[in-house]
Amino acid sequence: MAYCAYCGNPLAEVSNAPCPQCGNPSNGAPRRVGAGKSGANTAVIVIAIVAGLFVLVAIVGILAAIAIPNFLTAQGRAQQKRTMADLRTLGTALEAPATDHDQYPRADSVAGLASSLSPTYIRHLPSKDGWGHDVKYECWPADACTSYAVGSPGKDGQWERASLQDYASGSATVRFDADIVFSDGKFVQYPEGTPQP
């Protein structure tokens, strides 16, 4: 009688055929790695791939949680800076005809200023702020127009006060929703950290 060289199981004959009990060659040939366990390697590979994907998704989620708020803040600051530059440009264009006529142009909107300012004092009249809202223009008193203000309602598009004359001089803000107002050659409400001209 013959016996398996690995497990000692009694066999009819010893050969290179696998032993029914241990799955190795009964003649003592080198062991077959993973004999009888072909599905186990596939399961380990699938589990490793799924675990790797979970780790990758977690890393991407953490990076997104950090990057998205920073991107939105940077975008808001860029829109504020563009709005401030446009308001300053508009204010400079308003100052030029005031030196010629001793008063600012009379108009009830920025669009109404086009005939007075364009193209002599400004080539392109900025009528929208960085968020796409209409820029507001006011001059006072009504009979002389010796003072003016231009402004943006900020990100939310809602004005905080009824008139641009109501804004306090030198008021800083930190919110993107806050109004930005340029009056008589200086910002009277502006994002904090921005130097006054």
> Does the CA dihedral 68-74-77-83 come out positive or negative?
negative
Confidence of residue 197 (pLDDT cuts 50, 70, 90): very low
The 10s digit of each residue's pLDDT in 80-89 is: 999 999 999 9
Is the model's pLDDT at 195 over the cut of 50?
no
pLDDT at 8: 84
Same domain? 171 vs 79: yes
Same domain? 14 vs 101: no
Q: Residue 93's CB: how many other CB atoms inside 10 A?
A: 22
Average pLDDT, whole number, for the chain? 86
**145 lies in a domain?**
yes
Same domain? 32 vs 115: no
DSSP state for residue 32 in the 8-state scheme: P
Owning domain of residue 3: 1-36
Is the model's pLDDT at 22 over the cut of 90?
no
Same domain? 131 vs 55: yes
CA 73 to CA 71: how far, in whole Å? 5
Confidence of residue 64 (pLDDT cuts 50, 70, 90): very high
Annotate 80-104 with DSSP letters as a single string. Answer: HHHHHHHHHHHHHHHHHHHHHHSSP
**197 lies in a domain?**
no
Structural tokens at position 45? 């590979």
Q: Residue 154's CB: how many other CB atoms inside 10 A?
A: 26
- Domain count of the chain? 2
CATH label of the domain that carries residue 82: 3.30.700.10
